[in-house]
Amino acid sequence: MQEYDVVVVGAGAVGENVADRASRTGLDVALVDAELVGGECSYWACMPSKAMLRPGDVLAAARAVPGVRGVEGLDVAAVLARRDEVAAHWDDSGQVAWVEGAGLTLLRGHARLTGERELHVAGPAGEVRVVARCAVVLATGSSAVVPDAFADVRPWTSREATSARQVPARLAVVGGGVVAVEMATAYADLGAQVEVLVRGDRLLPRAEPFAGEAVLAALVDRGVRVSTGASVTQAQRRGDEVHLRVEHRGGPGEGAVAPRDVVVDEVLVATGRRPRSDDLGVEHVGLVPGEPVEVDDALQVQGVPGGWLFAAGDVTGRTATTHQGKYDARVVGDVIAARFAGRGEKSVDAARVPRGVTREAEEGAGAWSRFRATADVAAVPQVVFGRPQVAWVGTTQEEAARAGVDVDVVGYEIGDVAGASVTDPAYRGRAQVLVDRERDVLVGATFVGPDVAEMLHAATVAVVGEVPLDRLWHAVPAYPTVSEVWLRLLEAAGR
C-alpha cells in the first residue's frame, strides 16, 4: 500500500498542471499514468498535428507574396521527421524529468478507483493499493469514437493520422469537425488525394457558418473533395484498400441520390471523442462508466459526497482543448492546495505558494476568482489550424440566440485592412464580433484567415475583461498590422 496526500490519475497536460499546483502548499502528490507522460496532446494530437500543418502554411504564405523565388514545395520525409522531433519521438523522458524536478511522484500503471480515496494501480511493478489522504483528481482525457460501420476495417483515428510513417495515396476523412479539417488540410498538403465525408450540411458546425464555408471553399480549391450530407453505411478492407459505401442525403427537392463506393488506401474516422471514464472504477463511487465526469466550477465531482473527488480536462466533457483543460487544472490545483493547506507532510516552500492561495480565500470564492473556472462558460477560445485558420472565443450568433442575449453582429473583410494587403495582396479573411446590446461589451468574436490564431487573444482579453466598447476604442492597433481590423470593427459598431 502506498499513501499520498493527493493522487492525480492521468499525466496529460491537464494532470501535470493539477499535480504541480496542488503540491504548492506542501501536499505530497502522486501522478499516475498508463502510457506516456504528457498525454494525447504531446504525442498524438496538438503538437504533431501542428508540426504537420505548419510547412503548408509557410509555403502558402511564401507563394502569396510576389517576388519570392525558389519556393518549390514540401519535402514530405523532412516534414514527417520534424513531426517526429516535435512529438519527442514518442519518448517521455523529458516530461518524466520535469515531473521529478517538480517534486511529484510518478506511478506507471492503469489506475481504477476501488472506493472513497482508494485506487488500485496495475503497472509494470505489479498491482499496488494507493490511498489518497486528501483528494483524488481524475484527468484521464478522452479517446476517439469509432462508429460501428468501421469496426472491421482498422480505420485510422487521430492517433494514426498524427503518427503515420507514410502518406497514403488516397485518404477518406469521415467527419466535419476540428480533427477532420486539420487532418484533411495536412494530408492534402503532403500529397494525398483526400475526400472528406461530412454527415451534416457544413464543416465546423460549432463555429459561425461563414467559417466552415470559407474552409470548405479553400479545401475544394486545393483539390480536396468535400461531400456533405454523406453517411458511410458499410466499410470493408479488401487487401490494401478500404471500400466505403456512401449514402447521400439529397438536397431539398432533389429526391434520393444513389449510393456510391469510395475506394481509398486509408480511412480516418474523425467523428468525435468520448471521455475516458469507462475503465476507471467510477462505478465504485456511484458514477456511470463511459459518461463525462460532471464537475462544478471548482472542478469538484458532482454526486460524490465527502469533497475528496475532483476532475479536469477532456474526461469532464466540459473542455475539449489543452488550453482550457490546463486552465481548469490551475483552478482545481489551487482549490486543492487551499482546501487541504496544512495537511501535507512535506515542508512548504513559501516561494512556491501562489499569492492568495489560502483556505479562507477559497471558502469565500466566487465567479472570476482564481478558485472558479468561470471562463469555461463565458469565454472559451478555440482555434482550428486549417488553411484558412478559424479562431473564435465566447458565444456564436446561434448560441447567443439560444441564450436570449440580444447582440449586434459586426463584420469586416480582413483583406480590406492595409496590413493584410502587405501580408498577401489577395488576402482573404473575415472578422466578426458580437456586441451585447444591453451591456455594450463583446461577448463573442470569430476570425477566419491566414494566421488569425495569433489575433484571437486580443478578443479573449476583451470578452473576459468585459471591456466597454467606449474604452476598447482607445486600444489602438498598430499600422500596418492585420490587427487594424479591430479599428474597422469598432467603426462599423458606430465608434
Ligand X SMILES: Cc1cc2nc3c(=O)[nH]c(=O)nc-3n(C[C@H](O)[C@H](O)[C@H](O)COP(=O)(O)OP(=O)(O)OC[C@H]3O[C@@H](n4cnc5c(N)ncnc54)[C@H](O)[C@@H]3O)c2cc1C
Ligand Y SMILES: NC(=O)c1ccc[n+]([C@@H]2O[C@H](COP(=O)([O-])OP(=O)(O)OC[C@H]3O[C@@H](n4cnc5c(N)ncnc54)[C@H](O)[C@@H]3O)[C@@H](O)[C@H]2O)c1
Name residue, grid cell 481509398: 264
DSSP letters spanning 443-464: EEEEEEETTGGGGHHHHHHHHH
Minimum distance of ligand X from residue 315's CB (angstroms): 6
Question: Whole-angstrom Cα distance, residue 431 to residue 446?
Answer: 6
By the 8 A CB rule, do 464 and 445 touch?
A: no
Residue nearer to ligand X on the CB measure, 24 or 50? 50
Determine the angle formed by the axes of helices 93-101 and 13-22, rounding to 10 degrees.
Answer: 10
Pairing outcome for strands 441-449 and 389-394: antiparallel
Report residue 211: phi and psi, to 5°. -70, -50
Q: Is 110 in the site for ligand X (CB under 6 A)?
A: yes
Residues 433-462: x where in contact with ligand X by CB under 6 A, - otherwise, as a string: ------------------------------
Residue nearer to ligand X on the CB measure, 321 or 395? 321
Question: Whole-angstrom Cα distance, residue 172 to residue 189?
Answer: 15
Minimum distance of ligand Y from residue 312's CB (angstroms): 15
Minimum distance of ligand X from residue 409's CB (angstroms): 27
Binding window for ligand X (CB under 6 A); candidates: 29-37, 197-205, 214-222, 226-234 = 29-37
Q: Is 14 in the site for ligand X (CB under 6 A)?
A: yes
Beta-carbon contacts of 328 under 8 Å, excluding residues fewer than 6 positions away, are 14, 299, 312, 313, 316, 318, 319, 373, 376
User: Is residue 368 helix, strand or coil?
Assistant: coil
Residues 290-329: x where in contact with ligand X by CB under 6 A, - otherwise, as a string: -----------------------xx-----xxxx-x----
For ligand X, the binding residues in 163-182 under the rule CB under 6 A are 179
Q: Is 280 in the site for ligand X (CB under 6 A)?
A: yes
Residues that bind ligand Y (CB under 6 A): 147, 174-180, 182, 199-200, 205, 270-273, 320-321, 382-385
Stated as kind and residue range, the H or E segment containing 348 is: none
54 binds, among ligand Y, ligand X, none (CB under 5 to 8 A by kind): none
Minimum distance of ligand X from residue 266's CB (angstroms): 15
Residue nearer to ligand X on the CB measure, 139 or 172? 139
Question: Whole-angstrom Cα distance, residue 332 to residue 334?
Answer: 5
Which amino acid would we find at residue 103? Answer: G
User: What does the binding site for ligand X look like in residue numbers (CB under 6 A)?
Assistant: 9-15, 32-35, 39-41, 45-46, 49-50, 110-111, 139-141, 158, 162, 179, 276, 280, 313-314, 320-323, 325
